[in-house]
Chains A and B, each alone.
Chain A
Amino acid sequence: MTPGSTTSACVALLRRDLTLAWRRRGDIAMPVLYALIVVTLFPFALGPESALLTRIAGGVVQVTVLLAMLLALDMMFRSDIEDGSLEQLMLAPQPLALMLAMKILAHWITAALPLIVVAPLLAGMLHLPTAVMPVLIASLLLSTPLLSLLGAVLVALTAGTRRSGMLLALMLLPLCVPVVIFSAGAVAAAQQGLPWIAPIAWLGAALAMTLVLAPLACAAALRIALDA
């Protein structure tokens, strides 16, 4: 791997972001803790009736995971903009969209993967049948990267503005809705013994499209953000 090649740049950037996340492990634990607390509170609020909990389990876990991901979303490019790393990244002789895709991947690994790991625990606390767990995991594996990618575009668009949190949440809401409908729909279908492959396929198609387009949009948006 020669220094300066695209592969070495991808590896260097991915390693940098993962190392940085590891040095601040507490920040990774935050969304997991948040999801754990929210799911724990549901039985207390609704009563421990197992039939009710089973019915809402899939949806509650999906929504909780997506909300927990939002906590870390606006941190995606902030420190890079503040310390000048983003300028250095743009001046490097590398395709910016691909470099940003690496950053989004690192963000997904640190923000979403721990949530997917604890998702069976969360679902178990709400009496989701074990047979449905694989569908839940599959839908989360597709919906969380989708949210990371869509979120990254919006974070890039609001990068120039101060206190962009409110704006970000407002813009992300309509994009979250179809993601939640399809991923919770798959789990609900599996629970009723219906075929669940269609909503999963829709999520996969959306992910494939976003995977190609979102990094390009991110790169364009960040170039505009710095050109001011």
Chain B
Amino acid sequence: MTTPDPANVLLEARRLSFFRQDEPVFGPLDFRLLAGQVALIEGDNGSGKTTLMRLLTGLLHVEEGELLLHGAPLTPQGAAGEIAFLGHQLGLKSDLTPRENLRVTEGLYGRRRGLDPATALGAVGLLGYEDEPVRRLSAGQKKRAALARLLLIPAALWLLDEPYANLDREGIALVNRLLDRHAREGGAALVTSHGAVSFAGGEPQRIRLHA
């Protein structure tokens, strides 16, 4: 195995494990995520995929093992702005329209070069729904609006918790296309899924969680 250039290592976990009330949830886990790489986190229901995601965002603090972002221990302050997170709760305000939601994102995070809320919504196929309140959109359309936010945030690391849920076949292809483009632009992504996934760019790195 060749040792990767340390400058390329975006995220590294060393002997990472997590306990809930002294019950082990997962781990110990070792993995490395390089720039330009997409990794798939696999595990059954309840195996700790979402918990791992929340650890990686810095929302949960690490108790056992080490988690390094750009070679430095991950802290909520250090992770801010570096990470775009798509969780089970999409973080969209249901009384606002997708366009208004993205404007808030833009104000908070800034925007990726060459993108604004309108083009980001176009890229995920929500043209014509920009000014419809989010609560009137279907579950799949809400997911697409959340994906547009992901596109807009200028973060190198994407953490996607079950991005394929609620999406139709075309939506799944869209997620794969976005992931592929993000990786080619030098970003990295961690994706959890319990279903079969095929990426355009060949076989992804797989991280297995055991319950």
Q: How near does chain A come to B174, taking the closest CB pair, in angstroms?
A: 21
> In the complex, which of the residues B61, B87, B90, B108 contacts A92, with contact meaning CB atoms closer than 8 Å?
B108
Please report whether the interface of chain B is mostly helix, strand, loop or mixed according to DSSP: loop
- A9 to B153 alpha-carbon distance, docked (Å): 13
Known A-B contacts A2-B110, A8-B107, A87-B59; the reply to A92 vs B81 at CB < 8 A is: yes
Contact present for B91 and A9 (CB under 8 Å):
no
Contact B91 A4 (CB under 8 A): no
Residue picked from A15, A87, A228, most chain B C-beta under 10 Å:
A87
Q: Are A226 and B107 in contact (CB under 8 A)?
A: no
In the complex, the answer to whether A91 meets B83 with C-beta atoms within 8 Å is: yes
Give the residues from 1 to 26 in chain A that come closer than 8 angstroms, CB to CB, to chain B.
2-5, 8-9, 11-13, 15-16, 19-20, 23-24
Task: Name the interface residues of A166-182: CB closer than 8 Å to any CB of B.
Answer: none
Of the candidate stretches A57-65, A77-85, A117-125, A208-216, the one touching chain B is A77-85
Provide the residues of chain A in CB contact with B154, threshold 8 Å: 4
Contact of B89 with A by CB under 8 A: yes
CB-defined contacts of A11 to chain B, threshold 8 Å:
107
Q: B91 to A85, Cβ gap below 8 A?
A: yes
- Asked if residues B80 and A19 are in contact (CB atoms below 8 Å), the reply is no
B162 at the interface (CB under 8 A from A): no
Question: What is the CB-to-nearest-CB distance from A110 to chain B, in angstroms, rounded to a whole number?
Answer: 14
The answer to the question of A55 belonging to the interface, with a C-beta cut-off of 8 Å to chain B, is no
Instruction: Give the Cβ gap from B76 to chain A, nearest Cβ, in Å.
Output: 7
Complexed CA–CA distance, A226 and B85 (Å):
15
- Smallest beta-carbon distance B206→chain A, Å: 26
List residues 198-213 of chain A with CB under 8 A from any CB of chain B.
Answer: none
Residues of B within 8 A of A127 (CB): none
Instruction: Point out the residues of chain A lying under 8 angstroms from B92, CB to CB.
Output: 83-85
Q: A89 an interface residue at 8 Å Cβ cutoff?
A: yes
How many chain A residues touch B (CB < 8 A): the figure is: 33
Indicate which residue in A16, A24, A228 contacts B104 across the interface (CB closer than 8 Å). A16
Interface contacts (Cβ under 8 Å), in number, total 98
Q: Does B49 contact A (CB under 8 A)?
A: no
Q: How far is B98's CA from A96's CA once the two chains are assembled, in angstroms?
A: 24
Q: In the complex, what residue of chain B is closest to A24 when comparing beta carbons?
A: B95
A16 to B99, CA, bound (A): 12
A12 and B80 alpha carbons, distance in the complex (Å): 18
Bound Cα distance A8, B106 (Å):
9
Decide: B85 and A20 in contact? CB cutoff 8 A.
Answer: no
Contacts A16-B93, A87-B59, A227-B61 given: A93-B107 contact, CB under 8 Å?
no
0/1 interface trace, chain B 72-98, chain A, CB 8 Å (1 if under) = 000010011101110111111111100
Question: Which of chain B's residues have a CB closer than 8 A to the CB of A54?
Answer: none
With a CB–CB cut-off of 8 A, which chain B residues contact A19? 95-96, 100
For B83, the closest partner residue in chain A by CB is A91
A residues in contact with B32, CB < 8 Å: none
- A-facing mask of B141-154, CB < 8 A → 1, else 0? 00000000000001
Q: Roughly how many angstroms separate A164 CA and B105 CA in the complex, as a whole number?
A: 30
B127 in the interface, Cβ–Cβ < 8 Å?
no
Contacts of B79 in A (CB 8 A): 91
Q: Assess whether A93 is in contact with B91, with CB atoms less than 8 Å apart.
A: no
| Distance between Cα atoms of A85 and B94 in the complex (Å) | 11
Q: Does A88 contact B (CB under 8 A)?
A: yes
Q: In the complex the two chains form, is A4's CB within 8 Å of B93's CB?
A: no
Q: Are B107 and A9 in contact (CB under 8 A)?
A: yes
Chain A residues 79 to 133 lying within 8 A of chain B, measured CB to CB, are 79, 82-85, 87-94, 99
> Shortest distance in angstroms between A77's beta carbon and chain B's nearest beta carbon?
13
Instruction: Say whether, besides A16-B100, A227-B61, A94 and B108 are in contact (CB < 8 Å).
Output: yes
CB pairs A–B below 8 angstroms (17 shown): A2-B110, A3-B106, A3-B110, A3-B111, A4-B111, A4-B154, A19-B96, A20-B95, A82-B89, A84-B88, A84-B89, A87-B89, A87-B91, A90-B80, A91-B83, A92-B109, A94-B108
Q: Which 6 A-B pairs have the closest CB atoms?
A: A4-B110, A12-B107, A84-B89, A93-B81, A84-B91, A88-B91
Extra pairs beyond A4-B109, A8-B107 (10, CB < 8 Å): A4-B154, A13-B107, A84-B91, A85-B91, A87-B57, A88-B85, A90-B80, A91-B81, A91-B84, A227-B61
